[in-house]
Amino acid sequence: MTNAEFNEQMRNRTPEYAVRVLGFSEAIPENISARVIGYQLAKSSTSVGANSRAFCRGGSAKEHYAKICLVEEADECLYWAKGIERLKIVSKIKSTCKK
């Protein structure tokens, strides 16, 4: 895969990822801990796409290096998703959807 193909794939995939996470976060229960984690997950998932776009537009190696924080944002998404898993928020969402 060339850099251009990778960049194009990222431009296409990251907005879809953000939309899917935002849709998921709408189903998160209305308690404080779940809402805080859901909010953080939503913020970091949308930042992945924004930083990916900025990275693709960067011209110099220094600009690319500065924008590599998209990896940090993706890792933060994983952190918040694990928090949702640990608090068993997903099982609460599933039980709510079955009603």
Q: How many domains does the chain have?
A: 1
- The Cα–Cα gap between 98 and 40 comes to 26
92 alpha-carbon distance from chain centroid: 21
The two structure tokens encoding residue 18: 């953000």
Average pLDDT over residues 71-85: 88
Residue 11, domain member (yes or no): yes
Percent of the chain with pLDDT over 90: 28
pLDDT band of residue 48 (cuts 50, 70, 90) is confident
Place of tokens 């011209």: 59
Higher confidence at residue 10 or residue 98? Answer: 10
Average pLDDT over residues 41-62: 82
For 29-69, the three-class secondary structure string (H helix, E strand, C coil) is CCCHHHHHHHHHHHHHHHHHHHHHHHHHHCCCHHHHHHHCH
Residue 98, domain member (yes or no): no
Residue 97, domain member (yes or no): no
Rounded to two decimals, the pTM is 0.75
